[in-house]
Copies of this chain bind each other. A is one copy, B any other.
Amino acid sequence: MRNIIQIKSPATIANLVCGFDILGLALEEPYDIMTLEVVEKPGLEIIHTDNYQLPTIPEDNVAGAALLALLDDVKNAPGLKLTVEKRIKPGSGLGSSAASAAGAVMAASKLLDHDFSNEDLVKFAMFGEKVASGVKHADNITPCLLGGVTLIRSIMPLDIVKLDAPDLHITIVHPQIEVKTSDARQILKKEVQLKMAIKQWGNIAGLVAGFMKGDHALIGRSLEDAIIEPVRSILIPGFDEVKFRSKSAGALGGGISGSGPSIFMLNKDIETAKAVEQEMKGVYTKIGIDFKTYVTKLNTEGIKIIE
Give A residues with C-beta under 8 Å from B: 18-23, 151-154, 159, 161, 163-164, 188-195, 197-209, 212-213, 218, 221-222, 227
Contacts of A201 in B (CB 8 A): 18-20, 22, 197, 200-201, 204
Copies of this protein in the complex: 2
Contacts of A221 in B (CB 8 A): 153-154, 159
- Residue of B with least CB distance to A189: B194
CB <8 Å contact, A205 and B153: yes
Say yes or no: A153-B202 contact (C-beta < 8 A), given A190-B194, A191-B191, A194-B191: yes
- Residue of B with least CB distance to A210: B161
Contacting A153 at CB < 8 Å: which of B21, B22, B203? B203
Most buried by B among A18, A163, A164, A208: A208
CB <8 Å contact, A198 and B153: no
Contacting A208 at CB < 8 Å: which of B21, B188, B195, B205? B205
Contacts of A152 in B (CB 8 A): 202
Q: What are 23 contact pairs spanning A and B, CB under 8 A?
A: A19-B205, A21-B198, A22-B198, A22-B201, A22-B205, A151-B209, A152-B202, A153-B203, A153-B222, A154-B206, A159-B206, A161-B218, A190-B193, A190-B195, A191-B192, A192-B193, A197-B197, A197-B201, A204-B204, A204-B205, A204-B208, A208-B209, A208-B212
Contacting A197 at CB < 8 Å: which of B23, B164, B192, B222? B192
CB <8 Å contact, A194 and B205: no
Contacts of A194 in B (CB 8 A): 188-192, 227
Contacts of A159 in B (CB 8 A): 206, 221
Contacts of A188 in B (CB 8 A): 194
CB <8 Å contact, B21 and A206: no
Contacts of A192 in B (CB 8 A): 191-194, 197
A97 vs chain B, min Cβ distance (A): 21
CB <8 Å contact, B198 and A20: yes
Contacts of A200 in B (CB 8 A): 197, 201
- How many angstroms from the CA of A143 to the CA of B193 in the assembled complex? 27
- How many angstroms from the CA of A194 to the CA of B159 in the assembled complex? 20
A164 vs chain B, min Cβ distance (A): 8
Contacting A154 at CB < 8 Å: which of B19, B189, B202? B202
- How many angstroms from the CA of A221 to the CA of B19 in the assembled complex? 18
CB <8 Å contact, B206 and A205: no
Interface contacts beyond A19-B201, A21-B202, A154-B203: sample of 10 additional A-B pairs, CB < 8 Å, sorted by A? A21-B198, A22-B201, A23-B205, A154-B206, A154-B221, A164-B212, A192-B193, A201-B201, A204-B205, A205-B207
A17 vs chain B, min Cβ distance (A): 12
Contacts of A212 in B (CB 8 A): 164, 208-209, 212-213
CB <8 Å contact, B22 and A209: no
